[in-house]
Amino acid sequence: MGRRKKKKRKSKSARPKRLPRCPRAGYPRRNWLVRSLEFKDYREYQKSSLWQAIRLRVIERDKGLCRICNQRGRDCHHIDYELHTLNGTDISNIILVCRKCHDECEFEGRTKLIQQKASQKTLELLKGTIT
């Protein structure tokens, strides 16, 4: 009776929400996995008691020494950021390093390496094939 059919709205919010897929690699993947553990971001994760406990386990396992140069170390370096690493189930891919070696792992000169390259370089430093 003269009533107009409601216009269908095609706004984004009306569409069923699809969860974004987990990125395949690198820092985007790390950030996605950190959010899946219900942290807002990686910074929040680093402040968490979960991370503090993991850090203490790494320091204890490596006896306070840098795994690359054997000097005193205080930094934890991630070789990967897989879920089992982030949630502390498996800490074998986190190593204790000194500040100097940490920079060596993550930088080439003044350029910060992408995560995959940093991992590769870390493994080479651990094997002693580059100095």
Residues near Zn ion (CB under 5 A) are 66, 68-69, 98, 101
Nearer to Zn ion, 111 or 131 (CB): 131
130 is written with which tokens?
């580059």
Task: Decide: residue 21, CB within 10 A, 0-12 exposed, 13-18 middle, 19+ buried.
Answer: exposed
86/101 with CB nearer Zn ion:
101
Nearest distance in Å: CB 34, Zn ion = 26
Q: How far is the CB of 104 from Zn ion (least distance, A)?
A: 8
Residue 115's contacts (CB-CB under 8 Å, 6 or more residues apart) are 25, 26, 27, 30, 81
With H, G, I as helix, E, B as strand and everything else as coil, classify residue 108: strand
The distance of closest approach from Cβ of residue 36 to Zn ion in the complex, given in angstroms and rounded to an integer, is: 32
Query: For Zn ion, which is the closer residue by CB, 53 or 123?
Result: 123
